């Protein structure tokens, strides 16, 4: 082993754990090395997210929690931390933080995006996020995490939806629900923002709606189905919310008033 290391045929991944040079930076190799070196480690952060609810999340380091402090190693991010056993799950032979705690951990870095995604994938609920927060009190960054959780009270599924919710709350517009489920002709839909009494839908289009042809087309089928079922549909983009928040609020308010007026006029 010593000779192979001297020759450069083997390189350290972790103390006492080696690989061939070409494989050292591969995540699966780092994970295998960590399992040999510290089998009690709990995968956290972006590593846990990739293994649970966010497989496309980028990250070059393997993040994990250990029972005692360790010297930094290239390609790894160690934290000395006890993870409550209620907040761990097993994935592919590894112990990882569950989606609720993982989203909370990432919220300190990414703001609401990690929580929006975990809610959208329905791998965690707002209640489970608050439970994870209660079980991990006293941590650095918890003030920010609490603020993001409070801001998530209407359970947004995207950054754009989160902004729309803030604008509606600030304008004191009530009577709406986020991601409201409806079934039309056997097809299930989740309406971004629904004023159910008025049968008014506010749809928030992110960048994917512009770039993905299939999504663009499916949205039109969805909108047609809603209109035929008697819903009024308003559509807004992220840029419209960001650049013209007052116009967004005013158009929603006007649509709601118009529908109520038409409903009163139709009564015998």
CA-to-CA separations, 114 to 43, 64, 108, 117, 149, in angstroms, rounded: 16, 18, 9, 5, 11
Sheet holding 177-184, edge to edge: 177-184, 187-195, 200-205, 232-237
Average pLDDT over residues 108-129: 93
Q: Report the range of poorest mean pLDDT among 2-11, 54-63, 158-167, 211-220.
A: 211-220
Strand ranges in the chain using DSSP code E only, listed in sequence order: 11-14, 17-19, 42-43, 62-66, 76-80, 88-91, 94-97, 177-184, 187-195, 200-205, 232-237
- Cα 112 from Cα 68, distance rounded (Å): 30
For the chain, the straight-line distance linking the first and the last C-alpha, in angstroms and rounded, comes to 91
pLDDT, residue 268, reads 61
Contacts for 244 with CB less than 8 Å, ≥ 6 apart: none
pLDDT, residue 209, reads 47
Within 10 angstroms of residue 222's Cβ, the number of other Cβ atoms is 18
pTM metric for this prediction:
0.83
Domain boundaries, the chain: 38-151, 159-266
pLDDT, residue 108, reads 82
CATH of region 159-266, choose from 3.40.960.10, 1.10.3210.10, 3.40.50.880, 3.30.70.1350 = 3.40.960.10
Is 65 within 8 Å of 83 (Cβ atoms)? yes
- Cα 224 from Cα 210, distance rounded (Å): 18
> How is residue 9 annotated by DSSP?
S
Average pLDDT over residues 111-136: 95
Q: How many CA atoms lie within 13 A of 133 on its CB side?
A: 23
Q: In the chain, pLDDT over 90 holds for what percent of residues?
A: 78
pLDDT in tens, 220-260: 889 999 999 999 999 999 999 999 999 999 999 999 988 87
């Amino acid at each position: 082993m010593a000779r192979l290391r001297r020759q450069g045929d083997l390189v350290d991944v972790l103390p006492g754990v080696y690989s061939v040079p070409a494989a050292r930076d591969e995540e699966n190799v780092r994970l295998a090395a960590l399992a040999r070196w510290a089998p009690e480690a709990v995968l956290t952060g972006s590593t846990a997210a990739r293994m649970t609810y966010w497989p496309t999340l980028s990250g070059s380091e393997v993040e994990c929690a250990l029972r005692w402090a360790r010297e930094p190693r290239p390609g790894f991010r160690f934290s000395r931390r006890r993870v409550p056993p209620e907040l761990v799950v097993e994935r592919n032979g590894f112990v990882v933080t569950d989606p609720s705690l993982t989203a909370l951990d990432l919220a300190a870095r990414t703001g609401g995006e990690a929580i929006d995604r975990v809610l959208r994938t329905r791998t965690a609920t707002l209640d489970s996020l608050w439970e994870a927060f209660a079980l991990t009190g006293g941590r650095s960054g918890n003030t920010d995490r609490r603020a993001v959780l409070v801001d998530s009270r209407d359970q947004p599924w995207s950054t754009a939806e989160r902004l729309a919710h803030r604008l509606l709350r600030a304008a004191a517009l009530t009577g709406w629900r986020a991601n409201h489920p409806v079934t039309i002709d056997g097809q299930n839909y989740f309406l971004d923002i629904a004023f159910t009494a008025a049968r008014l839908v506010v749809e928030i289009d992110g960048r994917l709606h512009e770039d993905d042809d299939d999504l663009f087309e499916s949205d039109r089928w969805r909108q047609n189905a809603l209109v035929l079922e008697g819903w009024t549909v308003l559509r807004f983009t992220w840029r419209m919310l960001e650049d013209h928040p007052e116009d967004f609020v005013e158009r929603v308010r006007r649509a709601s008033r118009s529908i109520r007026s038409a409903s009163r006029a139709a009564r015998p």
